[in-house]
Amino acid sequence: MAEAGGSKIALVTGGGTGIGRAIAEALLKNGYTVVLSGRRFDVLQVAAKELAAETGGTARAFAADVGDPQAVATLFSAIRHDFGRLDLLINNAGMGLPAVPMEDISFEQWNSIVSANLTGAFLCTQQAMKLMKAQTPRGGRIINNGSISASTPRPMSAPYTATKHAISGLTKSTALDGRLFDIACGQIDIGNASTEMTSQMSGGVLQANGEIASEPTIPAKLVADAVVYMAGLPLSANVLTMTVMATEMPYVGRG
């Protein structure tokens, strides 16, 4: 079993780019050993090397499709073998679609989004619960990336919105089922963090009234700092839900 220098062990899914990478960086700067997971090993490997060099921390890359039960089991088996425990799971991996009328969404598109956004979070949570219950000292924390769409949809975003609403239910169920075992679960709902996925917002995105309008963004670092706060609480305390968003973005009523 590899030693992690006594630091806490964190897994960040979708950790090679965007918000996931920002969260991984912030955790490394706060003394965590971080496993970055995602589908593309080359991207993860570059991110892990760069983040380790920048922070002086320990970052590992592990390719896994979170929608595949066997891949997730293999990922957690490797964490158990290399570190013996997991203190923090960040369920961040996910995907969306361009704005598409509901009737034009294919079954394959629907399944892909459900697999990445919801099934993946469930499978990782399931494995984390098993490990956190069995490890010594017992317990840990799980933080889900919910998105503003967990409560208020954008136009023509049914698959993404449905999965993010479901994440809210998964968060509450995990918080309830985990509390007897010192496992805390919370959710961060993010609005317009600046990443490659949100780069088009300055050029305009579809609004609820049918107009195209540009939207403000915030640095992903602000989201990462919020996650570090949530993660740093003692297991006797929990942020069940937190919303971090650009102040002037459309949200309430999306208007």
Q: Three-class SS of residue 187? A: strand
Can 160 be counted among the known catalytic residues?
yes
Which residues, at least 6 apart from 40, have a Cβ–Cβ distance to it below 8 Å?
16, 63
The residue behind tokens 């570190």 is 83
Distance CA 244, CA 147 (A): 9
b/e per residue 1-15 (b: at least 16 CB within 10 A): eeebeebbbbbbbbb
Distance CA 134, CA 140 (A): 11
- Please tell me what DSSP assigns to residue 32: -
Count of C-beta atoms within a 10 Å radius of residue 25: 23
Task: Report the length, in residues, of the chain.
Answer: 255
From the candidates 32, 160, 229, 251, which is the catalytic residue? Answer: 160
Which residues, at least 6 apart from 228, have a Cβ–Cβ distance to it below 8 Å?
26, 27, 30
Catalytically active residues, by annotation: 160
